[in-house]
Structure 1
């Protein structure tokens, strides 16, 4: 891979119930991210971390809408706005933004930044739909609303920071669903998003599903943003995540999926951003999940066996 990669950390856990994912960017870096990227020919430049307010002393309900629940929404807006600017700057400089989370609410900022000037498809690897709105959420955790926010659903339609400008529902594909709330299940069914459950992967195989998802995301768009939540994998492979769900993809299935990302999005500029989220070192075993995250992004950016 002959491309500059700009690493942007977002040590944020305001969007989740469990503390710890704020240490995810450090864990991924410690797992040898820079060396692994340089080994495949990428130039890695680390721009440090976006500043994230601490939850202590902050009222989590201060910015919540009157007709719904969304914890730390004001702080999430602040962080995602900052991240959006940094991602846009990286894209404008011809670099690939590699965003390290943090909980999945940061994807609102990543998507907003990468799609500011060009139509962008999204491939979303996740056990969860992240398709709740403040009106449907059972928890108020914004990391469960991030994709709905990007698409401007519900209460997010009335904001000027959450909806991505050039992302259409029909160019969004979610891969690996196995845990949905009733409200977001209904939201997904009512949308034009393409959603693949783990049953689809079982029936069709991960390669068939991922290839079709990439076709969805590239249909008529200028490029694709990839968002990888490590809870997409089975907890036996990735124990250090905030919301583990049994029955996820295997180690080899995950690598096969990332190798397809590299194969089908290899044209210069087609892969517009990549993000890794929900690594929680507190719950991990010997930094296993962060090391796996490094391996997977290397496969997505072109590392091959032979």
Structure 2
């Protein structure tokens, strides 16, 4: 008789990290976009997550997983930079539109989409697809933005012109206009249902954009330090879920301290620890209202033996129900 056989029936489903939460039908969607950032390499992020065993990890939790492949993405060598205040905006908008359509179709098929980026500009597509699906049901969605940065610059305020610093602005209707109007409407989310978690590197102009957009639920790393991850996440999920069908989780790996996640393009010291990150994902799983998930900014070129992608896969597993016991 094995140790598992000796467990009471109520615990057998939990033993070894197997979840007791309802299983899902999941679709993996890669968006290998790196036009939104200055440093190249995040286009390999989806492959790194797959190599780290994401599909097998999710299946071990009882989920049914299909891999939808990658959205076709232009590369810098064949694209046009365009206006320096929003570099490669046309190509990024085209990619985000394709991603939005694929995400929306995934939801129509009864699947939970997990989008693997790419730089964070892919969120303009992911969230647009989720929001459009629920808009057709006369429902709105919440958005949990877990990131070292607020990504709420516009072409007018951006110091770099890198579009991966603009997706939240686009989703809230601040611009840039082509990205804001993916699928033909804007804004995609209401400010009262948008929550920033773990920010610690915000441009001066972004602070004004946050106020202008009306986003009030902003939890910095200081809030996490002082109040604890559990309190912050419980409040964040309540705000994102208030009056919505549920919420999309957008996780940028630079949210985590570079000691644990070195393979990111814009590392910032003082991020979430390994256990804080897992706790946040576990709380998301416990609440059970996640509609979709995306993981962005894994850069294998800057990583150490795929450490960051392996951690990303662990965190996704926690968000989809893996438990310690």
Please indicate the TM-score interval, normalised by the length of the shorter structure: over 0.9
Give the total of aligned pairs: 297
* Gapped regions of structure 2 (runs ≥ 5): 1-21
Worse-superposed segment, 213-222 or 153-162: 153-162
Q: Aligned partners of 1:217 and 1:28: how far apart in 2?
A: 27
1:149 is aligned, of 149, 170, 175, to 170
CA shift in 2, pair 1:164/1:86, >3 Å: farther
Residue pairs, 1:263-274, within 5 angstroms: 263-264=286-287, 266=288, 270-274=289-293
Q: Aligned partners of 2:186 and 2:173: how far apart in 1?
A: 7
RMSD over aligned Cα, in angstroms? 1.4
Q: Does 1:59 align with 2:80?
A: yes
Q: Secondary structure at the match of 1:227?
A: strand
Q: Aligned partners of 1:16 and 1:305: how far apart in 2?
A: 36
Q: Aligned partners of 2:187 and 2:108: how far apart in 1?
A: 16
Assess if the C-alpha contact under 8 Å between 1:111 and 1:164 holds in 2. Answer: no
1:290 is aligned, of 293, 309, 317, to 309
Q: Aligned partners of 2:222 and 2:211: how far apart in 1?
A: 16
Q: Secondary structure at the match of 2:77?
A: coil
Q: Secondary structure at the match of 1:131?
A: coil
Report the alpha carbon displacement of residue 190 of structure 1 after superposing the two structures with TM. 3.0
Greater fraction of residues in helix: 2
* Gapped regions of structure 1 (runs ≥ 5): none
1:247 is aligned, of 270, 281, 286, to 270
Residues 48-105 of structure 1: CA distance to partner in whole angstroms, max 9, x if unpaired?
00000111142211xx3xxx81000000110000000000001111110000000000
Residues 187-228 of structure 1: CA distance to partner in whole angstroms, max 9, x if unpaired?
113332211110110110011001101011000001100000
The structure whose Rg is larger is 2
Q: Aligned partners of 1:128 and 1:272: how far apart in 2?
A: 23
Moved over 2 A (4+): 154-160, 162-166, 189-192
Structure 1 partner of 2:60: 39
